Amino acid sequence: MISHYGQYISERLGKSLIEDENGFATYFMVNDVCYIEDVYVIPEKRKTGIVFAYADKIVEEAKAKGMKVLIGTVKPSAAGSTVSLKVLLAYGFQLESAVEDFIFFKKSLEA
């Protein structure tokens, strides 16, 4: 069952949400790009692969909808940004660009 927050971001912002008792991931798709916007895993479940399970679900949906590119970002000034950067690289993202306080990563969804 999706939370009220999930209903809100879907209705108001056109975003999607994966959520369970361990955390959540928000994402949206535009043209042929899927952008994973936020991922949160509760502290006691971190380093258990949950973040990759969320990403796998998003990728499955993105491919089914014809998306060709997956985008992720890291805001260096945010708490935990080094961990976020490591997670994106471990999932196969490549550095795309950087502007001000955002680093953009890209991963092809094409075989």
Tokens of 84: 């976020």
Average pLDDT value for residue range 20-39? 96
Q: Do 19 and 34 form a contact (C-beta atoms < 8 A)?
A: no
pTM of this structure = 0.93
For the chain, domains (ranges, CATH) are: 20-108 (3.40.630.30)
Q: What percent of the chain has pLDDT over 90?
A: 95
Tokens of 45: 């479940």
Confidence of residue 1 (pLDDT cuts 50, 70, 90): confident
CA dist list (Å): 45 to 4, 62, 73: 23, 25, 22
pLDDT digits (tens, 9 = 90+) for 78-110: 999 999 999 999 999 999 999 999 999 999 999
